[in-house]
Amino acid sequence: MKEMTLGTPDDFETEVGPIINKDAFKKLADYISSFSDANKIFQSHEHILEKNIISPCLIELNS
């Protein structure tokens, strides 16, 4: 997942594009953060607020 290209949809090299709006960005960022306390995040995630981009992340859920 670290090799994935983050960017805008107008760039053909982009594999992960922006979240639809700032509200959705905040909701997703908060959702990911809520898992970090009780679970293990294997793939760290990158938040690029000015472009509404959150890179893919991998979380191991403890049951």
pLDDT recorded at residue 35: 77
Q: How many other C-beta atoms can be found within 10 angstroms of the C-beta atom of residue 25? A: 19
> Which tokens hold the place of 28?
């997703």
pLDDT-derived band at 43, boundaries 50, 70, 90: low
> Which tokens hold the place of 34?
């809520």
pLDDT recorded at residue 38: 75
- Domain residue spans in the chain? 22-60
Please give the model's pTM, rounded to 2 decimal places. 0.75
What is the tens place of the pLDDT at every residue in 6-41? 888 899 999 989 999 999 999 988 888 887 777 777
